[in-house]
Every structure is written in C-alpha cells, then in structure tokens.
Amino acid sequence: MSAAASRVWISKLKAAAWAVPVTICFNDVIAGPFLIAGSSMQPTLNPKSEDPSASDDVVLVQKWTVRLQRYCRGDVVVLRSPTEPDIYIVKRIIGLEGDWLSVPGQLEIEKIPKGCCWVEGDNARESHDSLNNDRFGSIPVALVQGRVSHVLWPLSRIGRVSSSVPPGRLLAKNETAFQHSEY
C-alpha cells in the first residue's frame, strides 16, 4: 500500500474511532436499547407466548429523565439490583420517598424512607423485588438507571410502555418527593 493510501485509511479509522465515545455518551445520557431477560414483568414485557423460540423483548431506556431526577410512580424502570451489584433488574415503581403504602400480607402500612422507592414486578410470582421472593423492601432510588419508555422488538408489539400504579396500594402520596425538599 502506498504511503498516501495508508494515510487515507488512518484518517478514516480515526473518524470511525470517534463513534465509540459518542455512542457511549449518548447511551448513558440520553437513551439506549436494553434486552429484557426473565419473566418478572409479564405480561407487560416478555409476555408468555405459545412459540417457545420467541425472542426476548428489546426496549428503549430513557436516561435523561433519571439524570434530572424525574421519578414517577407507575413507571417501569431499569435498576441495579441491591443484592447482586452486577445484575440489572426491570421493575415498576410503586411508591417514592415519604409515601405510605399498604403491603399485601401484612397489617402494618409502610412509610418509604428518604431517598428511597418501592419497586415490584408485574408478575408477583416470578419477581424478586421489594415485596416478593427476596423482599428487599425500600431501596435507594439512586439505583435506578433509566426509564423503560418503548418496546422496540418484537415489531408486533412496538410502542409505548404505559405507566400504571396498582389500585389501592398507595395510601398517601408525598407530593414533594424528590423536589429537593425535606418532607
């Protein structure tokens, strides 16, 4: 290869190498795809299908809302597991700091401590969350990495992921949660 030709290649490689930090930055700050594993969010994500070869769902995860600390009750979020640091879990936020929640199977109602949230999977039987199986209770909201906003794959179910709080659980809502005030 001539010197001029190799110089052209090097400049092309340099331009391509810039894609790496730009992609990482976009994925971390704005939004990125995420592969859903497991059945804890059925039927919202990875719904049961007759076809055993059905692939897992790919969703779009918004990061900028979390960076601005906009956490909403009812949103589906990706968070780092409080018990296994290397694992990402997908759950629904039921309550935020200062809320009072009724907890199925116990008489006492629960107040969520400062900086914390209460998360549950839609499929109670399969989900390890604040209430079911592991029962890790309230967890720091700082574990939340992003909000699941859309299903991207399979194409048949492409669209928004809706936000909903199970009825009758939230007894008292703290209107000033995460608005930089002491409640």
Partner 1 sequence: MSTRFSRAGRWLFGSHPQSLQETATTVLKYGCLAYVVRTYGVGATFCVGPSMLPTFNSFGDIVLFEHVSAYTNRIQAGDVVIARSPQNPGNLVCKRVLGLEGDFVKVAASTYLGPARTVQVPAGHVWLQGDNALNSTDSRSYGPVPYALIEGRAFLKVWPATQASWVKRQLS
- Using CB under 8 A as the binding rule, whether residue 111 contacts partner 1 is answered as no
Nearer to partner 1 (CB atom), residue 74 or residue 140: 140
- Using CB under 8 A as the binding rule, whether residue 141 contacts partner 1 is answered as yes
Query: At closest approach, how far in Å is the CB of 177 from partner 1?
Result: 11
Q: Which whole-number Å values give the CA distances from 24 to 17, 30, 82, in the listed order?
A: 12, 10, 24
Active-site residue among 53, 81, 91, 163?
91
Kindly indicate which of the ranges 43-51, 74-82, 122-130, 161-169 contains the residues binding partner 1, using the contact rule CB under 8 A. 74-82
63 catalytic, yes or no?
A: no
Kindly indicate which of the ranges 26-34, 48-56, 122-130, 157-165 contains the residues binding partner 1, using the contact rule CB under 8 A. 26-34
Spatial separation of the C-alpha atoms in residues 37 and 112, rounded to whole Å:
28
Determine contact, residues 79/144, Cβ cutoff 8 Å.
yes
> Regarding beta strands 88-96 and 100-102, do their DSSP bridges make them parallel or antiparallel, or are they unpaired?
unpaired
Residue identified by tokens 């299903």 is 151
Task: Give the containing element (helix H, strand E) for 77.
Answer: strand 76-80
Which residue among 7, 10, 12, 24 contacts partner 1 (CB under 8 A)?
24
User: DSSP secondary-structure letter at 171?
Assistant: E
- Using CB under 8 A as the binding rule, whether residue 84 contacts partner 1 is answered as yes
91 catalytic, yes or no?
A: yes
Nearest to 87 by CA among 13, 26, 17, 143: 143
Which residue among 69, 102, 164, 176 contacts partner 1 (CB under 8 A)?
69
Using CB atoms within 10 A of its CB, is residue 21 exposed (0-12), middle (13-18) or buried (19+)?
exposed
- Using CB under 8 A as the binding rule, whether residue 172 contacts partner 1 is answered as no
Active-site annotation, residues: 40, 91
Binding residues for partner 1 (CB under 8 A): 18, 20-22, 24-26, 28-29, 69, 80-86, 113-116, 139-144, 178, 180
